[in-house]
Structure 1
Amino acid sequence: MSRYQACIGCAGWNLPRDQWPMFAAEGTHLQRYASQLTAVEINSSFYRSHRPKTYQRWAESVPAGFRFSVKLPKRITHVLCLQDCEPLLDEFLGQCTALGDALGCLLVQLPPSLAYDEAMATAFFSALRLRYRGALVLEPRHASWQNAQALLVEQQVGQVAADPAAIPGGDVPGGWRGIEYWRWHGSPRIYHSAYDIPRLQALAQQVQLATQAGREAWCIFDNTASGFAVGNALALQSLLTPASNKTLVCK
C-alpha cells in the first residue's frame, strides 16, 4: 500500500467559513486545520518572535506526523540582509526548535533588493548550518541568486519553486534536490487568485515524481487573501492521496 508523503498546507492556519464543514468541528483553529492537512507554514515569525512555550503548545496540539515550516525573522533577512546575525539566529532557533519533531523546515525568504554575494551567503549559511541541520529552503527574489546553486547544494539548501516566479527559472525547484518546496502565492493576482484543477494536476505530477525519487516534498499555498489557499491545498491533497489509502503521512 502506498503512503502519502508530501507536506501539504497553507501559509497560516486560518480556515475560511465556507471550508469549515471539511474540518473537525471542535478544537482550536490549528487543531481543526490539522485534522485534514499535514503541514503549515508559520509566517508570523517573520514579523515577531514567539516564546518557546508557544511553539511547544502548537506542536502538542497537532497529530503525529504533522509538520511546521517556520519563516526566518525579517530582521535577519531584510534588515541585516543576512550579515552579522548570529545572535539573532541563536534567539530564533532557541524559540522555534521547541517544536521538536514537528519542526519540518526553515524558510529563508529574501527581499528583491538583496543581490547574491558569495562571501556573505557562504558566511550566513555556514553559521546557520552550525546551529541547525534540518530541512532548509531559500526563496530568493533577485536574479543574481541563480549563481548560488553550487553553494546551496554544498549547504543542502533547497531553492523554492515560487508562483509567480520573481526571478527567471524561479518556478522550478533548485539548489539541493533533497528537498523540493513549492510556494504558490496566487496567479495572476498574487495572494488572491485561485488555482484551477489543471494547474493542480500538473503540480501533483511534479510532487509525485519528487516523492518517488525519495525527495522531501512541500507544497504551501500562500493565496490566502481571498480565502482560496485552503481549498487549493485540499484539492491537491486529494489528487495525491489514493482513494484506497487516506492515511496522511508527512515525512
Structure 2
Amino acid sequence: MRAADPGSADDAPATAADPDEAVPGAPPKRRRAGIQPQPPDDEQRALAAALSPRIWLGTSSWSYPGWQGIVWEGRHGESNLSRNGLGAYAAQPLQRAVSIDRGFYQSLTASQYERYAQQVPEDFRFTVKAPSVVTDAQVRGEDGRGRQTNTAFLDPRLAIQEFIEPALEGLAGRIGALVFQLSPLPLAMLDRMPEQLDRLHAMLAALPSLRDAAPEGVVAVEVRDPEWLTPDFVAVLKDTGARYCLGLHPKLPTIEDQLPLLRAMWPGPLVCRWNLNRLHGPFGYEDAEKKYGEYAEMMDPDPGTRAVLAKVIRATADAGQAAYVTISNHAEGSAPLSLRALARRIVEG
C-alpha cells in the first residue's frame, strides 16, 4: 500500500477564497480535522429508514478518491482513505456494511481487524475475503498466471490460523460473512471435481463455530468456475452449515440462473457480492477500470440484475433472515451510486 501523501488535502488550511477570509478582521478558516462524510440527502435518509434492519448493504472496499462529494467531503488520497476513511464511509445511512478485500492478497492480523471494527458502529457488518493462500489452487506470478500447485489449497489448519481466528478476535460481533472465494481451478482439477468437493468439505467441517463471538456471522463460499454449481456442492454447504455466496460475475451464470441454487439452500442468510458487469466479459476487470476512471458515475446501469437482486434481498429479509450484500465499482461504474439505486429498488418493491 502506498505511503500517505504529505501534501494531502486533509491537512491543508483553507485558502483565501473561503468566505470567512473575505471579511476584514475575520480569523482564517481551517478545514475540519480528518475525513468528513458527505452530508446525506433526504432521499438517502428516507431509504435507510424504510429498509429492513436485516439488510446490510455496502461496497467492496472504500479507498476511492473519486467518491468525493458522494461519500466524503473534500479530496483525499487513496492511502489516507484506506487508513482513516472507514468512519466517514460508515456515517452514510445506507452504507451499513463493507467488504474487506485486501486480506485476499495478504493475511490480516487480529489487531488490523480490530482497528477497522473500532471505526464503525456496533450494527455495522463486514464481509471479509479469505487469503488466497487458502483459496487459490495455484501459486501465481505478478501477471496473475498460475506458476505451480498451491499445496495449502483449502488447508483447514491454515484457514483457521490465517483467517477465521484473527477475524473473530478482531471483528467479533461485527462479522457479517467470512467468504472463501475459490479462484479459477486449473483444467486438471476441474476434471476431478469430486476430489475438490471432498477437500472443501473437510476444510469447512473443521472450522470453529462463529456463534459465540459473532452470533449473526456466517461462513460462505464463492466460486469462479460454474463446475462447482452442482447438487453435490449444495450438499457440502448444507452439511457443514456454510452458505453459498451469490457471485455476480461474467464467469458464472446470470443471477436468474443461480436462483435454483439459492432455493436449494433455503432457508438461511443471503450473502452476495456483485463483482463485475457482464458486458465486460469474464476477464474484463482491466477494461472496467479504464472505462470507469475514478468511479464517480454510474456508467453502465444494469437494471435487470438490480431488480432480481432486490427481490431476493427483500424476500430474505421478510423471512427474518440476514442479507449481506456488497457491490463493486465494476458492477455499474460507482459502487455507492449502485447501492443507492439498489436500495431504491428494494423499498419500491
Q: Which one of 100, 124, 148 corresponds to residue 233 of structure 2?
A: 148
Aligned residues: 239
- What letter corresponds to residue 59 of structure 1 in structure 2? A
Residue 59 in structure 1 maps to residue 117 in structure 2:
yes
In the TM superposition, what whole-angstrom CA distance separates every residue of 1:85-105 from its partner, at most 9, and x where no partner exists?
A: 414422322321211211111
Are 2:284 and 1:212 equivalent residues in the alignment?
no
Closer, same or farther: CA 171–165 of 1 in aligned 2, 3 Å: farther
> Secondary structure of 1:166's partner?
coil
For the pair shown, the structure with the greater C-alpha radius of gyration is 2
Offset at 1:62? Answer: 0.7
Per the alignment, residue 176 of structure 2 pairs with 104
1:182 paired to 2:261: no
Cα distance change, pair 64–110 in 1 and its aligned pair in 2 (3 A): same
Counterpart residue number, 2:104:
46
Q: 1:50/1:164 Cα in 2 relative to 1: closer, same or farther (>3 Å)?
A: closer
1:81 matched residue in structure 2: 153
Matching residue within 199, 222, 228 for 1:139? 222
Tell me the residue number matched to 2:147: none
Instruction: Quote the Cα distance in structure 1 between the aligned partners of 2:249 and 2:258.
Output: 7
Percent same amino acid at aligned positions?
A: 26
- Which residue of structure 2 lines up, in the alignment, with residue 233 of structure 1? 339
Is 1:93 the equivalent of 2:172? Answer: no
Q: Which residue of structure 1 aligns with residue 69 of structure 2?
A: 21
The separation in 2 between residues aligned to 1:168 and 1:210, in whole angstroms, is: 21
Measured on the aligned residues, the alpha-carbon RMSD in Å equals 2.8
SS at match of 1:107: strand
Q: 2: CA distance between counterparts of 1:227 and 1:165?
A: 16
Change (3 A) 1:5 1:194: farther
Relative to structure 1, the CA distance from residue 7 to residue 81 in structure 2 (aligned partners, 3 Å threshold; closer, same or farther) is same
Are the counterparts in 1 of residues 127 and 324 from structure 2 also a CA contact under 8 Å? no
* Aligned equivalent of 2:329, options 217, 223, 237: 223
Structure 1 segments (4+ residues) deviating >6 Å = none
SS at match of 1:109: strand
Asked if structure 2 preserves the Cα contact closer than 8 Å seen for 1:221 and 1:233, the reply is yes
Partners of 1:226 and 1:150 in 2: CA distance: 33
**Alignment counterpart, residue 5 of structure 1, candidates 46, 49, 54:** 54
Instruction: Please give the secondary structure, in 1, of the residue aligned with 2:272.
Output: strand
Distance (whole Å) between structure 2 residues aligned to residue 87 and residue 206 of structure 1: 34
| 8 Å CA contact 2:302, 2:332 repeated in 1 | no
Cα distance, 1:5 vs structure 2: 2.2
The one-letter code sitting in structure 1 at the alignment partner of 2:270 is E
Tell me if 1:121 matches 2:121: no
In structure 2, the residue corresponding to 1:160 is in which secondary structure?
strand
Q: Comparing both chains, which one has the higher relative contact order based on Cα–Cα distances under 8 Å and sequence gaps of 6 or more?
A: 1
Question: Which moves more between the two structures, 101-110 or 20-29?
Answer: 20-29
TM-score (norm 1): 0.82
Deviates more, 1:5-14 or 1:22-31: 22-31
